[in-house]
Amino acid sequence: MNGINMLVFMGKGVAVLAVSGVLFLPASGVAQVYTMTDGGSSATVNVNSSAGMSDWTVNNQNQLNQQWFWYRTDNGIAQPINTISAASVQTYYNGVGGVNEVTATYQNAQLTLTIDYYLTGGGVGSGNADLAENISVVNNTGSALNLNFYQYSDFNLLGSGANDSIQIFGSPGSYNFAQQMTGGTAIGEVVVAPNANYAEAAYAGQTLAELNGTANLTLNDTTSAGPGDVTWALQWGSTIGAGQEYDISKDKSLSIEVVPEPSTVAFIALGLGAWGLARRRRSS
């Protein structure tokens, strides 16, 4: 078939089509939880639950409790993105037998939201890994759409998180970097583009309760918290024209051994994020 390998499997009413290393799964398929693996690291995401990504393992230890995304298009309470629709999912192989990229798309009459995760491990025993996340929102309506998009992150570094501290860098209207640390272990996130409008560092439970219960939520721009069980959140606000697209690009760099200065972490993560985005486009 013109050099393209195709495999169709029919069983229990489920059809799966694999083309050139890309696995397409139907939105209503039985699989909801996807695990990416690469270079000694793994990350697991439940695309159809607000539990979201609940495991990012490096050196055989999970560093993450929960990361997920909320949105609102009015002055009501934000909703988890999985309430838009069931996810349509594509997975991409890393060339050595494992999946290291997952793309989930949610769609209704109002919008189409796609999140692409790309995992790059630093190697077995390295203590390092990188996760690029690229998000696109398309306005499916015939008029302007006011979007507020939220990312919530609850990392438990070294499996506990009891002594973590979080610092968010930037200023109101322009937040571009967050770093959570405990001793010599850190998770750093670079916002490649656009910078977040609002941010919130807090202790576990506070921001999650706000996302699930506060109408017209605007994050409070608190930029540090800890030591303790801390979380952080970012918020983007934009008016998307009819039929137009809004894109967010971010990159997380996790190190459970040696931690460079924040500027160095940002530089490394930015470079890896750009590489991951280029790789994603070549795979499309």
Q: Do residues 5 and 95 both lie within one domain? A: no
Q: Which helix (H) or strand (E) holds 198?
A: strand 198-203
Which domain range does residue 188 map to?
Answer: 31-283
Q: What is the pLDDT of residue 90?
A: 97
Q: Are residues 11 and 22 in the same domain?
A: yes
Same domain, yes or no, for 157 and 257? yes
Question: Do residues 3 and 52 share a domain?
Answer: no
Give the C-alpha separation, 27 to 36, whole Å.
Answer: 19
> How confident is the model at residue 97, as a pLDDT?
78
Helix, strand, or coil (residue 112): strand
Convert the pLDDT of each residue in 191-219 to its tens digit. Answer: 999 999 999 999 999 999 999 999 999 99
**In this predicted model, what pLDDT tens digit does every residue of 233-274 receive, in sequence order?**
999 999 999 999 999 999 999 998 644 545 555 555 666 565
Predicted confidence band of residue 75 (pLDDT cuts 50, 70, 90): very high
Residues 21 and 61 in one domain: no
**Domain check: are 12 and 137 in the same one?**
no
CB 210 within 8 A of CB 269: no
Shared-domain flag, residues 278 and 265: yes
Does 170 share its domain with 112?
Answer: yes
**7 bridge partner residues:** 18
User: Is the domain of 16 the same as that of 42?
Assistant: no
Q: Report whether pLDDT(23) > 60.
A: no
Instruction: Report how far residue 32's alpha carbon sits from residue 204's, in angstroms, rounded to the nearest whole number.
Output: 26
46 shares a domain with 16: no
Q: How many domains does the chain have?
A: 2
Structure tokens at 57: 């393992």
CATH number of the domain within which 94 lies = 2.70.98.10
pLDDT of residue 96: 83
